[in-house]
Amino acid sequence: MIINHPLLGPRDAQEFTYLGDAALIDRPDGMAFPDATAAQDAFHDYLYLRDNPAGEHRELWFHEQGDRSWLVVTRNTVTHEITKVEFARDVARSRGRSK
Residues that bind other proteins (CB under 8 A): 1-2, 7-10, 12-15, 17, 19, 24-25, 27-31, 36, 39-40, 42-44, 47, 60, 62, 64-70, 80-82, 87-90, 92-93, 97-99
List the 56-62 sheet strands across, edge first. 17-21, 56-62, 70-76, 82-87
Q: Which distant-in-sequence residues (6+ apart) come within 8 Å of 47 by Cβ?
A: none
Taking the complex as a whole, the smallest distance from the CB of residue 56 to other proteins amounts, in Å, to 16
- Single-letter code of the amino acid located at 93: R
Q: What is the smallest separation between the CB atom of 96 and other proteins, expressed in angstroms?
A: 10
Q: How far is the CB of 25 from other proteins (least distance, A)?
A: 5
Nearest CB to other proteins, comparing residues 80 and 84 = 80
Radius of gyration of the chain (CA): 15
Distance of CA 22 to the CA centre of its chain: 2
